[in-house]
Structure 1
Amino acid sequence: MTGGGLTACIIRESMSAVGVRQSHLCLLSVCPSLLPTGMHLESISLWVVVLGLVNHLYFNRHEPQSAILPFVLLVIEPPVFLVVFGAPISWSGSRFLYTYVIFLSSLSLSIVLYRISPFHPLAQYPGPLISKATRLWDLWKAYGGRKYLYHSRLHEMYGPYVRTGPNEISITDIDAVTQILRHGGLNKGRYYERVRQNDIPPSIIHALGEVHTAKRRVWNRALNPTAMHDHEPLIAKRATQFVSRLKEHGTVDIGCWLDMLTFDIMGDVTFGGGFEMLREGRDANGVGERIRAFLTVGNLLAQIPWIMKPVGLIPGVGQAVNEFDKFAQDLAVQRAKNGAAGRKDLWYYIADEADLEQEKPTLQIAAADSFVAVIAASDTTAYTLTSAIWLLLSNPACYQRVQQEIDSVIANGDDPFDANKHRELHYLSGCINETLRLHPALPSNGGTRQVRLEQPGRFISGRYFPPGTNVSVATHSIHRNPDYFSHPSRFLPERWLADSKLEKHEPSAFIPFSLGPANCAGQKFAMREMFGVLCALFKSFEMKFADGFDGEEWPRSIKEIFVVARGSLMVTLTPRNHAI
């Protein structure tokens, strides 16, 4: 339906709503002069209020896929209405402004009253009044990077089901979460469909249904045990270079160096190289900044996904997205030109260089999926490693125990990257798990899931979710829920040991890599990388917070930008007599 046709449709519905007959509507549509002229402001106000109410009814029933058309209609409807009523229009006059104020006020008031009323389909779910009324409140919390902490407080106040938006429920009930994320659960929400521009192909993050299944099959092939064997030497090579560069410095921002390490690893694993941040000692090409800027914008737009299309038309925003896409395309072109360099990297599988798939992906599609690997496995892994170091330095007894365990299992001269040795490091494994529990790399588990409007409502864990409901999984809140973990806010690696005496420990509530068909395809690779890097660090250095650095303040620097951004973690490194 065109904009003009939709405007006429809404006008007809508004007139019908107040008793104008269809025959009269037909006459009025061809002969506006039949309408009364010179109407008083009071009469116009009544009709404009009705127009606002009908707009609410119409768009509540026919949810727009983009804000562009509704915005255009909201701009043109009041002056069109004045023309229809034969009222004189002065673009600078009070009548024009008055009409707009009445129209937008009636529309806004109608929306807000409906959302907070007992007639709303989600009225049974508790939550703050402002969250029920508008998504802008969550947008504000997301802008500050603290939305996940705000939602944790809401769950402490209201329980496992909290209404965090007009049509959104945040959940910490692990039985419901399992049903939502596993096979047969809810589909990905609108954010996944709208976050990209139309001319950019969907990556595995945005793909749905059979497209996602086909992409996931390729990713599973790229990260199976045989493929992992090709990737492991790259981890060892870069981690050894990482330790060597750290020995050149006494005090470092360990988080910054871990960023460079993980980007170099993923550049090697995905594109056969290309970043060389460790060699340069800095992010010379601004890869990390580009990624974080892209994720920051995407995270904010995810709070109001219907606005993504018009925002993409803004020159600065559209240019940033296009530049980001071009950067990925350039890496892909370079990798395709250079070839596999004697081994099967991630590109080899994603670009289907072995011709195993029925339909070979285009260069653009392969580039989109490949760069997902760089994003998903760089910042997330670096953040987890940084958090693990902070937690261990903040708990000296745990630090000493993990270092002693590594020294006892990996003797001087042994390979710290030996996966067989890693299986014996039970306490280190507990430290990594406890870090992932307390500081999940995706505190809000990525985007929302949705009961689609075209589908019937769903019963999940005994509760009804009507069509159009968006569901978010509060990973950070689940991991710190006292119903699932004893002393949930404390760093207790021993809770993961077989002889743990803690009363509550629910492994099913531990979901740092999500669940189901859309869980993290690279979780085994990430665990292998974290074991290797931490073993190399603890064998090579004694670590402590740098003089003058307030370790207790570091968690306050953590901000959610879809993944997690954080401030500097300054540590002093003293080489040990345990060469790797």
Structure 2
Amino acid sequence: MHSSVFLWAVVSGLVNHVYFNQHEPQSAILPFILLVIEPPALMALIDGANSTSFNCLRLLYTYAIFLSSLSLSIILYRISPFHPLAQYPGPLISKATRLWDLWNAYGGRKYLYHSRLHEMYGPYVRTGPNEISVTDIDAVTQILRHGGLGKGRFYERIGQDYTPPAIISALGEVHTAKRRVWDRALNPTAMHDYEPLIVKRATQLVSRLKEHGTVDIGCWIDMLTFDIMGDLAFGGGFEMLREGRDVNGVGERIRAFLTAGNLLAQIPWIMKPVGFIPHVGQAAKEFDKFAQDLAIQRAKNGAAGGKDLWYHIADEADVEQEKPTLQIAAADSFVAVIAASDTTAYTLTSAIWLLLSNPECYQRVQQEIDSVIANGDDPFDANKHRELHYLSGCINETLRLHPALPSNGGTRQVRLEQPGRFIAGRYFPPGTSISVATHSIHRNLDYFSHPDRFLPERWLASSKLEKHEPSAFIPFSLGPANCAGQKFAMREMFGVLCVLFKSFEMKFADGFDGEEWPESIKEIYIAARGPLMVTLTPRSHENQV
């Protein structure tokens, strides 16, 4: 009787693999239930009423054989030449399981690991059982452009289960409608209304920094960008610069949320079961409530200045046929805070690190700013910014070397219910997830000469570098899901860097090892970094703003 039960346990494992391979579950709940009940059900069915043979030890053996059969079947199929992605190279462990990518994501180094894989295997690398990472810019353009691939499984499920429907998780026509609102909210006319918020907060930053000699400049820039986005998205309320700290833990909440989301994105089928864990579910609810409270405050108190982002997202002008609910407006507004605070702060901090690490570039930037923005001129004047060609090159070079979304913000997918797709001459079967390795593309020798070096002059018209492929520069992504706020972010970065370099001389703080700072960078969906300690010395009055 024992051999009969164990034989059927092996067969059951194989049958489960075949079935779920053909009918992919939307979550892990059904498979988990089946995995739990099938071994005891087999024993009860085969042994019948013979209770003496139904014991815990036999049950454990049955579970072990059932799960071993299922696991071995899955792994052998994934690494076999019969798998639809067998022609794509990659490490054996990545072909066998997503858990290896989950481990690298947990350490915040997945994007670096994928870069090494692309160096070993080329522009197409199999990084999971059904995942491909791509650095071929022709393929990337086809994947991200209009008519390309839709968002992957993670976005579908986070939109259904964890947050109100926001632009980050919206698909199809819903995304198109939301993007129309965002484009209106971030057009040149609207951005003109927002400029006083940048000026106010950047001026406040300079005032606060003059109270200190040595600071973690990244921390203060974090507070600056959060205050700007708080003003813009919710009519104020953060006041981090005034307090000199993150009073409400906004940054900590956002980074915890992003860290959890980044890990769940590696295994999106587990999202529904995770939602049943009390602590995880409660954390999501608290995050949602925090956004709702900010929205209620904005609806009650109005904008911090003139028209703000909330004015457009909440459709206070009654432009849209269907007015969004407070909950949906709150979700979209908080996306703005998440998307535009940490990402801009990371880029600004990285730019300062790169310039301090390259003194000749730092000196050239400061000289250019002084020559274009004379004493008494407005450092936030966009017309002046257009004359700052070398600073523009420095910002672009920062975005190239240190993209705020090293993995382009998530995967795209060939839909299961659709036929496979040919992309750049290669076939991708249904169900394939494809990630765009932005960090790897930006440092690809095929597209940029000396790809790991900080060379702002590569962006100047006078550049003599052999390779410079602008189409491979995608810090804000491409296509219909590209960053809606990229022009606002560039305006903000130009203004902040101009006012900082006009106001201060900077150097790495004594005892701070600037060369080790890149080791602190980790990917938590966006890029996060450790402290950047600098010493600030106010410049002479004729150079100050």
TM-score bucket of the superposed structures, by smaller chain: over 0.9
Residue equivalent to 2:326: 363
Distance 1:85 1:341 in 2: 72
Secondary structure of the 1:489 match is coil
- Change beyond 3 A, Cα 1:342–1:157: closer
Is 1:81 the counterpart of 2:46 in the alignment?
Answer: no
Deviations 1:75-103 (A, max 9, x none): 00111111111254677522111110000
Q: Distance in 1 between matches of 2:55 and 2:302?
A: 65
- Partner Cα distance (2:165, 2:46) in 1: 47
Equivalences for residues 374-523 of structure 1 within 5 A: 374-523=337-486
Corresponding residue of 1:32: none
1:339 aligns with 2:302: yes
2:132 is the alignment partner of 1:169:
yes
Deviations 1:498-543 (A, max 9, x none): 0100000000000000000000000000000000000000000000
SS at match of 2:523: strand
1:170 aligned counterpart, secondary structure: strand
Counterpart position of 2:495: 532
- Maintained 8 Å contact 1:197/1:312: no
Which of 237, 242, 245 is matched with 2:205 structurally?
Answer: 242
Matched-pair contact (CA < 8 Å) for 1:329–1:367: yes
Letter in 1 for 2:325: T
Distance 1:86 1:143 in 2: 45
The residue that corresponds to 2:261 in the other structure is: 298
Q: How far apart, in 2, do the equivalents of 1:183 and 1:463 lie?
A: 19
Partners in 1 of 2:344 and 2:305 — Cα distance? 27
- Aligned with 2:506 (options 519, 535, 543): 543
Q: Using a 3 Å threshold, how does the CA distance of structure 1 residues 91 and 336 change in structure 2: closer, same or farther?
A: farther
Deviations 1:257-301 (A, max 9, x none): 000000000011111111000000000100000000000000000
Structure 1 counterpart of 2:25 = 64
Residue matched to 1:36: none
Q: 1:386-432 deviations in whole A, cap 9, x for unaligned?
A: 00000000000000000000000000111100000000000000000
What are the Cα deviations for residues 211-253 of structure 1, in whole angstroms up to 9, with x where unaligned?
A: 0000000000000011011001110110000000000000000
The 1-side partners of 2:455 and 2:433 are apart by: 34
Q: Confirm or deny: 8 A CA contact 1:255 1:382 kept in the other structure.
A: yes
Output the amino acid matched with 1:50. V
TM-score normalized by structure 2? Answer: 0.98
Q: How far apart, CA to CA, are the structure 1 residues paired with 2:361 and 2:297?
A: 45
What is residue 569 of structure 1 aligned with on the other side? Answer: 532
Distance 1:53 1:355 in 2: 57
1:373 aligned onto 2:329:
no
Pair 1:42 & 2:29 matched: no
Alignment partners' CA distance in 2, 1:45 and 1:501: 70
Partners of 2:92 and 2:16 in 1: CA distance: 23
Classify 1:289/1:413 alpha carbon distance in 2 versus 1 (closer, same or farther; 3 Å): same
Distance 1:546 1:166 in 2: 46
Tell me: CA distance 1:239–1:458, structure 2 relative to 1, closer, same or farther (3 Å): same
For the aligned residues, what is the CA RMSD? 1.0
The 1-side partners of 2:29 and 2:305 are apart by 50
Change (3 A) 1:315 1:91: farther
CA positional deviation for 1:340: 3.2
* Match of residue 6 from structure 1: none
| 3-state SS, counterpart of residue 85 of structure 1 | helix
Residue 132 of structure 1 pairs with residue 83 of structure 2: no
What is the rounded CA distance, in whole Å, between the counterparts of 2:301 and 2:315 in structure 1? 16
8 Å contact kept, 1:234–1:265: yes
- Work out the CA distance in 2 between the residues paired with 1:546 and 1:313: 47
Using the TM superposition, give the Cα deviation of residue 194 of structure 1 relative to its aligned residue in structure 2, in angstroms.
Answer: 1.4
The CA deviation string for residues 179-200 of structure 1, in whole angstroms up to 9 with x for no partner, is 0000000000001011245373
What SS does the corresponding residue of 2:161 show, helix, strand or coil? coil
Distance apart, 1:579 and its partner CA: 2.2
Partners of 1:329 and 1:449 in 2: how far apart? Answer: 30
* CA distance in 1 between partners of 2:347 and 2:261 (Å): 22
Q: Which residue of 2 aligns with 1:155?
A: 118
Matching residue's letter, 1:428 = L
User: Relative to 1, partners in 2 of residues 1:489 and 1:199: Cα closer, same or farther, differing over 3 Å?
Assistant: closer
Partner of 2:280: 317
Tell me the CA shift for residue 155 of structure 1.
Answer: 0.0
Q: Distance in 2 between matches of 1:199 and 1:210?
A: 21
CA contact (8 A) 1:160 1:172 kept: yes
- Distance in 1, Cα, partners of 2:429 & 2:525: 26
Give the Å deviation of 1:342: 5.3
Distance (Å, rounded) in 2 between the aligned partners of 1:204 and 1:196: 9
Partners of 2:370 and 2:29 in 1: how far apart?
A: 62
Question: Deviation of residue 370 (structure 1)?
Answer: 0.5
Give a deviation string over 1:342-390, Cα, whole Å, max 9, x none. 5110000000011110110000000000000000000000000000000
**What secondary structure sits across from 1:163 in the alignment?**
strand
| CA offsets 1:90-141 (integer angstroms, 9 cap, x no match) | 7752211111000000000000000000000000000000000000000000
Does the 8 Å contact 1:167/1:470 carry over to 2? yes
1:55-76 CA distance string (max 9 Å, x none): 0001011100010111011000
Kept in 1: contact 2:231–2:304 (CA 8 A): no
Distance 2:10 2:517 in 1: 52
- Give, in whole Å, the separation in 2 of the partners of 1:572 and 1:341: 33
- Alignment-mate amino acid for residue 329 of structure 2: A
Question: What TM-score do the two structures reach when normalised by structure 1?
Answer: 0.92
Structure 2 residue 152 is the aligned partner of structure 1 residue 228: no
Task: State the one-letter code of the partner of 2:45.
Answer: V
Contact 1:197 1:309 in 2 (8 A): no
Gaps of at least 5 residues in structure 2 are: none
2:196 and 2:132 mapped to 1: Cα distance?
44
Q: Structure 1 341/569 Cα, relative in aligned 2: closer, same or farther at 3 Å? A: closer
Q: Secondary structure at the match of 2:536?
A: strand
1:68 partner amino acid? I
CA distance in 2, matches of 1:573, 1:197: 47
Question: Does the Cα contact within 8 Å between 2:14 and 2:69 map onto a contact in 1?
Answer: yes
The partner residue of 2:157 within 188, 191, 194 is 194
User: Which residue of structure 1 lines up, in the alignment, with residue 182 of structure 2?
Assistant: 219
1:579 maps to a residue whose letter is Q
**Conservation of the 8 A alpha-carbon contact between 2:197 and 2:228:** yes
Q: Which residue of 2 aligns with 1:281?
A: 244
What is the count of residue pairs matched by the alignment? 541
Q: Which residue of 2 aligns with 1:122?
A: 85
